[in-house]
A and B are shown apart, each in its own frame.
Chain A
Amino acid sequence: MFQHINNNRNFIVSLFFAGMVISPVMVILLSGFQAEIEIWTHLKQYVLPDLVKNTAILIIGVMFTTAVLGISLAWLTSFYDFLGRSIFHRILLLPLAIPAYVMAFIYTGLLDFSGPVQTFIRSTIPSIAPYFPQIRSAWGVIAVISLSIFPYVYLMASSGFRSMGKSMIETSQSLHAGRLYTLFRVTIPMARPWIFGGLILVFMETLADFGAVSVFNYDTFTTGVYKAWYGFFSIRAASQLASILVVIVLAIFIAESYFKKKQQFYTNGHQAVVRIKMNRTRSFFAFGFCAAIFGLSFVVPVFQLLIWTIASFTVEINAHYVTLLKNTIVLGVMGTVFTMGVAIILAYSNRSMGDIKTGIVSKLCLSGYALPGTVLAVGMMGVIAWLDKTLIEMIGIFGGYPISGILKGTLWLLPVCYMIRFLTAGYTPVFSNMTRLTSSMDEAARIMKVTGFKLLTKIHLPLLRRGIITGSILVLVEIMKEMPVTLMLRPFGWDTLAVKIFELTSEGEWERAALPAITLVLAGMIPIISLTFLGRNKKQNVITG
């Protein structure tokens, strides 16, 4: 069926989605070019220096911390056998289930002046209380964001170490290289494309983070954009700040594709590494290190959330919570259906692995994940303003009444934004299944007289089903956790769990934010658990030569 679809038509459809994805970026870049001197001077004088400094400190700090945590944990769990390794190997991904803004408010609530820890110190050893570090500081933000996203580096470094196979390490040893020498001359350099890939993800996430830094009142570009737009009601100033972000994102996006390309050259051997068994003391220290990181990044926050949830449960579990949950799920499902639709169409149009132009267009379609939510929202506002103006003019031509805004403030904007932001998450699993659906399979089915709709139901759907389900879960959970875009573009009064958390935490109501937060954490655990613990389907359906 699909092979009959004209290739050209496929291309035009992808081009349409690519246009949709980059239109907000275009609007923002255009506004950057048409900078008004007045706004620009004001920004340059009063706003920019602090934003640049804060953002730079934050990104450098988070990248350094996540690199140290991620690489060391990946190295331990990939090459050594110690107490609890096989469990840590998996559960170290769980912190990803806690959104950074949730992690932020938990630790603020826990370590703030009025929090339980400081209160306890003041009452027991008052002499050291003044030396307690201030959580609402650059260090605090760096630590909290790092704890919530270090698994990216851990995951990438692990797969880098694993893809290397044992032959490289054995070769190094056969050349009389010691263990540390091998680590720094072979293991880490060979895993570099993966490690850098993970660090770039960290860079993007940190740059895009809005929720965590708002909790800490730590001003970065994203909060700058939000405040310019919300506080000063100046979409111009917001766009101009956003245009700087877009330029940074473009640069980092290009760097990322470079490292992705490099990964394929570094894959070597399929024989798994033989892990070295540690002696008791070392095993104990390795266990302690992993347990400490896991405790700080998952156990403590979840425990704290549970305490707050229990304390506030009877008050908070009410009709309002149900509405929030319903709103979140309705938006999530709408966004997921739209995103997965686009992902499947795009996967089919890329299936034939065509020419350069198809490659560029699909790359554009999938570039939205690099865009910080605040930037996307501001850009979308620009696109919508333009579309509304055009529509109103057209209605005017036909003698209709000019009304203020047709698309602005409607619910339909959000699924489009979610698609732009999370298309990659939905597309990747579908496309990886699509590679198993070789063109010779279509031909084999065809020569056996199975074509059209039957081909779709007997061959395509069974082979793509897993990818579509995985993609849908990932996208749904990402949308549920999404905050800045929903916050800035939602129709009036249409609150979701994430938006409610933002509102409550900006007023310091940690306890009341716990129930929505734990709902999101539970949702976030679904994809992580199903992907890491349940492993792959038994019918793996992978044919190896």
Chain B
Amino acid sequence: MSLQVNNICKKLGKNVIAADTISFKIKDGELGALIGPSGCGKTTLLRMIAGFEKPDAGDIAICGNEVVSVSHNIPPEKRMAGMVFQDYALFPHLTVHENITFGPEKSTKSEIEKLISTTGLSGSEKKYPHELSGGQQQRVALARALAPKPGLLLMDEPFSNLDIALREALSEEVRLILKEYGTTGLLVTHNQHEAFAMADQIGVMQDGRLLQWDTADNLYYKPASYDVASFVGEGAFIKGDIDESGVITSQIGQFSSEHVNGFDSSLPVTIFLRPEDVRIDSDSEYKARLIKSHFRGPGRYHTFELPSGDQFVCLDKCPKRRELNKEYGISICNQKVRIFQYHPCPDRFLQGICCQVIR
């Protein structure tokens, strides 16, 4: 294991909880990502792993060595970790080459040359950081962090200062470079597409809690909670009711599940629909009114409204225009959907279960 984080807790000031018993692991050579809205505690977690902040409780191990626990705290410079900073933190008075070879551990000349060519910096060695474009500065920051061959590379919003096109290109390139060097990495970002493009495992954070640590597919198709479902990808929540036999009825369909123990028939449930889960089906008994429609690459995005007022989006592969304010038949094209139940105490939705579509 290159990184093990166990039960980390951290309070900032009196009331802000930056980390609430967070645990996860990253295997050797894998890339992890932490995503979540700003202020969710992801950067603080990264800085605790780097050693710039100390957790209140819990322990962290990098490459099998415990770096922080209740009893001891190894300073950042002795942690075997490298870091790419959000503002790159390039030393403005040093050239690209001097920046990359800044640390006291001297790599061989050929290693540095290889690193410079891999990161696409050949020809810029003698330049100063201010003479480079944002993307080039990013590459220098990455090369500098990789030069001492860290056991773990930490990246704090590394692409947030770049424009969208460059961000996507560079995030894929960085993944390839890290894979080539076999470096284990942990990335912090608020952009989920960046995380999807780079990471093997992704953690979704909110208010200092790690909601789910999983692969991108699972986050998208099997969100563990309402919060994960609403944060990752697009989707809509439709009100429904559950009866004692476990059958769920709603204005968009009927569903059933074997795993309904724990669900309370007196409380409402909510059905989670991705845009691709729904299709227009003139034979369906379930009707919804089209209120908005726009072209979107392949096909169109239609926004429908149910009689209850709930809205959802349907991705229609057929580019045909539909009439606004008209009722259309709607059906679910998947076998399964996710259902969450609302609980007034502690005012949140229960864990999701997978439900079979009946009709």
Interface residues of A (CB under 8 A from B): 436, 438, 440-441, 443-451, 458-459, 462-463, 539-545
Contacts and interface: CB of A to CB of B under 8 A. Distances in A.
A449 B161 contact: no
A539 B128 contact: yes
Contacts of B79: 447
B93 A545 contact: no
Interface string B75-99: 1111101110111111111000000
Given A443-B89, A459-B91, A449 B130 contact: no
Interface in B47-89: 50-52, 75-79, 81-83, 85-89
B105 interface: yes
A542 B77 contact: no
B148 interface: yes
Max chain B C-beta neighbours (<10 A), residue from A446, A449, A543: A543
A445 B93 CA distance: 13
A438 B89 CA distance: 7
Contact of B102 (A440, A445, A542): A445
A544 B130 contact: yes
Contacts of A447: 50-51, 76-77, 79, 81-83
Interface in B286-333: none
A448 B102 contact: yes
A462 B93 contact: yes
Contact of A443 (B76, B78, B102, B103): B76
A543 B93 contact: no
Given A447-B82, A448-B103, A436 B77 contact: no
A449 B77 contact: yes
A440 B77 CA distance: 14
A450 B128 contact: no
Contacts of B137: 543
Of the candidates A440, A445, A458, the one having the most CB atoms from chain B within 10 angstroms of its own CB is A440
Contacts of A440: 85-87, 89
A539 B93 contact: yes
B129 interface: yes
A541 B134 contact: no
B104 interface: yes
Contact of B83 (A443, A463, A540): A443
A444 B103 CA distance: 10
Nearest to A441: B89
B341 to A, nearest CB: 44
Contacts of B92: 436, 463, 541-543
B233 to A, nearest CB: 29
Contacts of B83: 443-444, 447
B93 A463 contact: yes
A540 B137 CA distance: 16
B90 A543 contact: yes
Nearest to A461: B93
Given A448-B77, A540-B130, 17 more contacts: A438-B87, A443-B50, A443-B76, A443-B83, A447-B77, A447-B82, A448-B82, A448-B104, A450-B102, A451-B77, A462-B93, A463-B91, A539-B93, A539-B128, A541-B130, A542-B130, A543-B90
A540 B128 CA distance: 9
A462 B92 CA distance: 10
A443 B52 contact: yes
A541 B52 CA distance: 26
A545 B86 CA distance: 11
A338 to B, nearest CB: 27
Contacts of A449: 77-78, 103-105, 148
A448 B137 CA distance: 18
Given A440-B89, A543-B90, A450 B52 contact: no
B115 to A, nearest CB: 14
A225 B144 CA distance: 62
Given A463-B92, A543-B129, A450 B86 contact: no
A304 B279 CA distance: 92
A129 to B, nearest CB: 63
19 contacts: A436-B92, A440-B87, A441-B91, A443-B50, A443-B52, A445-B91, A447-B50, A447-B82, A448-B82, A448-B102, A448-B104, A448-B148, A458-B102, A459-B91, A463-B92, A539-B128, A541-B92, A543-B129, A543-B130
Q: Nearest 10 A-B pairs (CB), nearest first?
A: A448-B103, A541-B92, A440-B89, A444-B89, A440-B85, A449-B77, A462-B93, A441-B89, A543-B130, A447-B83
B65 to A, nearest CB: 16
A539 to B, nearest CB: 6
A443 B161 contact: no
Nearest to A544: B130
Interface in B100-159: 102-105, 128-130, 134, 137, 144, 148
Contacts of B87: 438, 440
B139 to A, nearest CB: 14
Given A440-B87, A544-B130, A545-B134, A446 B93 contact: no
A350 B75 CA distance: 24
Interface string B37-51: 000000000000011
Nearest to A459: B91
Contacts of A448: 77, 82, 102-104, 144, 148
A62 B87 CA distance: 46
A538 to B, nearest CB: 10
Contacts of B128: 539, 541
Contacts of B148: 448-449
A436 B88 CA distance: 12
Nearest to A442: B89
Nearest to A451: B77
Contacts of A450: 77, 102-104
A443 B43 CA distance: 14
Contacts of B82: 447-448
A265 B93 CA distance: 31
A446 B102 contact: no
A158 to B, nearest CB: 25
Most B CB contacts (10 A, CB to CB) among A448, A449, A459 go to A448
Given A539-B128, A543-B137, A446 B77 contact: yes
A445 B82 CA distance: 10
Nearest to A538: B128
Nearest to B99: A444
